[in-house]
A = this chain, B = another copy of it.
């Protein structure tokens, strides 16, 4: 599996009372992402509010997404579980429905040692034949995997073949490159770092931005691969206010509010998360008008 470019995150649309998933809206947003040139679809990540779903809902979304994408691009299913057992259960399910890869993030209540994290990945990877993207996001998961640990897993666990780095620290990407002699493909998951991560050699950008920005993220990626640096810089700064806002307010909140502005009603994030405040929504409206000017 040689993955590169834009790996796009769909949201999970809910009904107004927050109880039901609106699959028709999900389908609509998937087509939107594919229409704008996204190179892979990654359902059930942070953007998809995976942590707030029941197991049954998680399975329905995984299955619906694989069917809808229908091999037009790879589907990488997100798994983030506190217990190894539950993570394995989901990994097996993902394989059974025809997903192309899984993206796995360990989650912390009690802090995990490096050995515990290694074994977590080892047991999950062994339970499936799918490629595994190890996903580091200390801000959401409470666990910070060092480049040293990530490269050790890449070198010692057969199907751990990719890393997604969302810490926002460019030096981590430098280390992944150095420690693996350039052999470990890494993907950027920190939106406001998109320009620099690609300049530093990231294979792709995992992002929910195409939900609101259409083809702009893909264009940034293409400008970098064709070494048009000034143009890439300009199109990055064009997107940056929105990319930063997604970090500040939280991605599901911002994407759902932005979709509503564009006429797509995907409900609110699940409680205790609120939808955006009126002030945030107004500011978002301006940002979207500005970026699409």
A residues apposed to B, CB below 8 Å: 46, 49, 51-52, 82-85, 106, 108-113, 115-117, 119-120, 123, 139-142, 168, 170-171, 174, 177-178, 192-193, 195-196, 199-201, 224, 227-230, 233, 237, 240-241, 244, 250-253, 269-274
Chain B residues with CB under 8 A of A193: 170
Q: Are A250 and B111 in contact (CB under 8 A)?
A: yes
Copies of this polypeptide in the complex: 4
Chain B: minimal CB distance from A236 (Å): 8
Closest chain-B Cβ to A248's Cβ sits at a distance in Å of: 10
Partner of A201, one of B110, B233, B251: B233
Chain B residue at minimum C-beta to C-beta distance from A171:
B192
Q: Residues of B contacting A113 with CB < 8 Å? A: 274
Q: Are B109 and A199 in contact (CB under 8 A)?
A: no
* Alpha-carbon separation in the docked complex, A119 to B274 (Å): 10
Which of B112, B200, B201, B272 is close to A117, meaning CB atoms less than 8 Å apart?
B272
Using known A-B contacts A120-B272, A171-B192, A178-B237, determine if residue A229 contacts B112 with beta carbons closer than 8 Å: no
